[in-house]
Amino acid sequence: ARIRRVRADVNLSLGKFAEAETILRDVIARGEKLYGSTSSMTSSAETNLAIALQAQGKHRDAIAMQLRSMSGSQAAIENVLT
């Protein structure tokens, strides 16, 4: 999953947003299975996917993904504090 994550980051940096989107969706699916939906790795990948979606003009999808990422991050923080 980490190698795919690096590939996604490289594609984002190169402006290859559609390729980054495809890879990040896979990274998120694998991350949820391995680490859970509230892990920092999963939330970070969701944030990067939101960036890729926004860059492609998929604004509603980008907002939904960013909200999902924030929700996961909030849940992770609450788990640490309790």
pLDDT at 75 over 90: no
77 in Cβ contact with 43 (< 8 Å): no
Cα-flanking dihedrals φ and ψ of residue 17, to 5°?
A: -70, -35
Least confident of 34-38, 47-51, 56-60, 61-65: 34-38
Predicted confidence band of residue 74 (pLDDT cuts 50, 70, 90): confident
* Arithmetic mean of pLDDT, 56-61: 98
Q: How far is CA 52 from CA 9, 13, 74, 76, 78, in A?
A: 10, 10, 22, 24, 28
Predicted confidence band of residue 23 (pLDDT cuts 50, 70, 90): very high
- pTM of full prediction above 0.75: yes
User: Considering the chain, what is the average pLDDT of its residues?
Assistant: 92
pLDDT at 79 over 70: no
